[in-house]
Amino acid sequence: MPSDEVVKGSASPPEKKTAIAHKLATKQQEISVTEFFEKNKQILGFDSRSKSLLMGIKEAVDNSLDACEEAGILPDVEVTVEKVGDEEYRITIEDNGPGIVHKMMPNVFGRLLYGSRFHALRQSRGQQGIGISATVMYGNITTGKPAHVESLIEGEDEVAWGMDIVIDTKTNRPIVTNDKAFTWEGKEHGTRIQYTIKGRYITGKQSVFEYLKNTAIVNPHAQVVFHDPEGKRYLFERATDIMPPKPKEIKPHPEGMEIGDLLKYASNSSQKTVSAFLKNDFSRITDRIAKEILEKSKVNGDKKPEKITREDAIAILDAIKTTKIMAPPTDCLSPIGDNLIKKGLMHVLDGLRPEYYATPVTRSPKAVNGNPFVVEAGIVYGGDITSEGQVQILRFANRVPLLYQQGACAITKAISEMDWRRYGLEQRGGKGIPFGPAIILVHVASTKVPFTSEGKEAVAGFPELQSEIGLALRLCARNLKSHLNKMERKKKTHAKFEIVQEILPDMAKKAADHLGRPVPNLDRTITRIMNVVWVEPTVKKDGKKARTITYTVYNYTSLERTFRLHAQLPKECVNLSLFSHPLFLDMNEDGKANWEVRSIPPSAHVEISFELKGDMADTFDADDIYFSGLNPVMVMGAEMLPGDWGIKGMEIVETDEGDFVEEEEEEMEAEDLGDE
């Protein structure tokens, strides 16, 4: 028998436990998504006064750019920040987009997780349906004031509508007041949102100005106007009228799919059989591949999709892993492109007068977890860029600047893991962010950018993604290194040439005067001393949209020389003068132009000249000229043609006599950078 003490210490009767459970059950209730984010604002990026001010503007500008691009409209966005109280600001963002239908306005601006892009598998800035409505919610919470929204859609009989919106956090529904129609004078279509928010306006790297400046770099087709709290107006003009390609929506790709995803797709499918479901509801699955998957999984292809069991789903996914399926299509992406990256950088950073814009690099598309992505990179070097401290890093995802959490981003990690010393930048210990007068730009475009949080401030470090970033950076850094080497060699040769041109004629004149003879012609002597083929570019500017490029090629060697010159031109700017030049060979669809200089005698020179006209004319750097058919040691002012140009070049073969002769070769193999 247990003692009295043990009985006294025993647990409470079951009836009492049940009573407590019932009491706890009465306190349990559903939490709306708005309530959740209201209490966890930091998840969305509203975790400080200065950051909250920026995040609201960022979300509104992103929506404006997305709407304009979907409608095929060149974006005009105006941002105004006014201080109206202690840490209280009134923000106004206006665009020229297609507008929003009247009945949809309350949901777009006053309901979280409501939007048109969440289920669309294509590149866009906004996808979650949280950003602008979360901004309205945060303004409601911090100031108690409603947001005011106005919108006008295109049409002769259409009127503009304006309304005040407050979000009911209990129900995640908008509360609308002052819903009125009005005439928007001078406006054909567009949207304006005005809200008041508690915030802190700052300047510097994480400021509104910096965000808008960086937005202009990767959106050169947009014009952005900014009015700061002090009344100053900043204009980021449109650099080009070329709209980015409109991304197409694609079907989900089976790679990296989870069991729940497959079961969800199957239950919602309109197909009659599993075979048709695989073939028609996913991208890159053909009849043959669908049949192979079903054979491996031993699932009946005639079964209805909604009848797929958990075991069937596991078997199908296992079969997919062992089946070779093409990567997802990439027309769902809209990369910026090499020329437009350079155009954006040149247009916005012109005040820094950089010495060199390393030719930007756009990598071939890849896929991670079934989502296609593209990595682009660019480097700006020298000029008025400060050489004190670490290089500036410009991070972008789907054309949106990332200003926070730099240390947690895969882009920063990829930059830090490169050995920049081999490319001409200082790097202590061979790791970490390099030092020097440079700006490094990296852009990741994807149907689903893997952000580290809902705040969309840093890119997660998937191995496939980080590897692609590293490869893009290496290619771009190699362009920078080539430029630095070329400038160093050119500087030394220029010094040598100036000495020869000044000292020898002076010596010859004095000797001739002393002997009473005429001054001899020193061209052949200078040629033997120099022993180079010199390519000297000159650029004549005619306003912002026209350039005349001239290459003067001097043969300072003792033999006749035949070789080719090559340049990557902005093909939409090429003038007819290019094609009419007698030395011109051809130009492919990518704008890669080729000239052939035949039998240029010693001490002689030839000129190659052409015109570029249009928005992109200034993106061509005359120093980016390549050659083939000569020993690289004897050429000054041009680089040897890269092996990845994929055109017929001229291979150098050294003869027994030590001379170099030309030999036509088949298409050059692409250079493998995987070992770098």
Confidence of residue 593 (pLDDT cuts 50, 70, 90): very high
Higher pLDDT, 133 or 30: 133
Which residues of the chain form CATH 3.30.565.10? 34-236
Which one is predicted more confidently, 488 or 229? 229
**pLDDT single digits (tens) 231-250:** 999 999 998 888 888 888 88
Tell me the C-alpha distance between 234 and 220, whole Å. 16
- For the chain, residues classed under CATH 2.60.40.1170 are 521-664
In this predicted structure, the answer to whether residue 551 has a pLDDT above a threshold of 90 is: yes
Q: Confirm if 257 and 321 have CB atoms less than 8 A apart.
A: no
Asked if 424 and 440 count as a contact pair (C-beta separation under 8 A), the reply is no
**Mean pLDDT value across residues 177-187:** 92
Predicted confidence (pLDDT) at residue 665 exceeds the cutoff of 50: no
Question: Comparing C-alpha atoms, which of 429, 430, 462, 458 is closest to residue 442?
Answer: 458
The pLDDT of residue 219 is 92
Relative to beta strand 160-168, strand 147-152 is antiparallel
CATH 3.30.230.10 range(s) for the chain read: 338-482
Contact 375, 368 (CB under 8 A): no
Q: Where in the chain is the domain with CATH 1.10.8?
A: 259-321
pLDDT per residue as tens digits for the range 464-491:
899 999 999 999 998 888 888 888 877 7
d(CA 546, CA 612): 6
> At residue 527, does pLDDT exceed 60?
yes
The 10s digit of each residue's pLDDT in 450-467 is 888 777 789 998 888 999
- Asked if pLDDT for residue 346 goes beyond 70, the answer is yes
Q: Is the pLDDT of residue 221 over 60?
A: yes
Whether domain 34-236 has CATH 3.30.70.260: the reply is no
DSSP H helical ranges for 298-452: 310-321, 338-348, 410-417
Of 210 and 507, the structure prediction assigns the larger pLDDT to 210
Please tell me the least confidently modeled range out of 366-380, 433-447, 630-644, 648-662. Answer: 648-662
Strand partners, 151: 161, 191
- List, in order, residues 6 or more apart from 59 with CB less than 8 Å away: 126, 131, 132, 134, 135
pLDDT of 292: 92
8 Å CB contact between 137 and 175: no
CATH code for the part of the protein at 521-664: 2.60.40.1170
CATH code for the structural domain at 338-482: 3.30.230.10
- Residue 547 neighbours by CB under 8 Å, 6+ apart: 539, 540, 541, 611, 612, 613, 617, 618, 620
Tell me the mean pLDDT in the region 79-86: 93
Position 6 scores a pLDDT of: 47
372: its two tokens: 């296609």
Contact 432, 420 (CB under 8 A): no
Q: What is the CATH number of domain 259-321?
A: 1.10.8
Q: How confident is the model at residue 98 (pLDDT cuts 50, 70, 90)?
A: very high
Average the pLDDT over 23-40 and give the result: 62
Q: Which is higher by pLDDT, 10 or 308? A: 308
Rounded to whole angstroms, how far apart are CA atoms 66 and 238? 16
Specify the range with the lowest mean pLDDT, choosing from 27-36, 608-617, 655-664: 655-664
Q: Report which of residues 631 and 430 the model is more confident about.
A: 631
Helix (H) or strand (E) holding 470: helix 463-515
Question: Which pLDDT band, with edges at 50, 70 and 90, does 500 fall under?
Answer: confident
Q: What is the DSSP letter of 527?
A: H
What per-residue confidence (pLDDT) applies to 329? 79
- Can you list the alpha helix ranges (DSSP code H) found in 184-334? 208-218, 259-268, 274-281, 287-297, 310-321
Residue 653 has pLDDT above 50, yes or no: no
pLDDT of residue 130: 61
The phi and psi torsions of 572 (rounded to 5 degrees) equal -75, -10
Residue range 385-434, pLDDT digits in tens: 888 889 999 999 988 899 888 989 999 999 999 999 988 899 887 789 99
In this prediction, residue 294 carries a pLDDT of 92
| φ, ψ at 345 (rounded to 5°) | -65, -45
Mean pLDDT of 556-574: 90
Residue-wise pLDDT tens digits, 121-130: 566 765 544 6
Residue-wise pLDDT tens digits, 48-78: 888 888 888 988 998 899 889 989 999 999 9
Each residue's pLDDT tens digit, 540-550: 988 778 999 99
Provide DSSP, 620-674. Answer: --TT--EEESS-GGGEESSEEPPGGG-S--EEEEE-TTS-EEEEE-SSPPPP--T
Residue 227 reports pLDDT greater than 70: yes
- Contact 148/163 with Cβ under 8 angstroms? yes
Alpha helices for 208-251 (secondary structure H):
208-218
- By percentage, how much of the chain surpasses pLDDT 70? 86
How confident is the prediction for the chain on average, in pLDDT? 83
**Token pair listed for 501:** 């041109």
- What is the mean pLDDT of the segment spanning 134-138? 85
User: How far is CA 249 from each of CA 124, 127, 372, rounded to the nearest angstrom?
Assistant: 10, 13, 12
Residue-wise pLDDT tens digits, 239-298 = 888 888 888 888 888 876 788 888 988 998 889 999 999 999 888 899 999 999 999 999
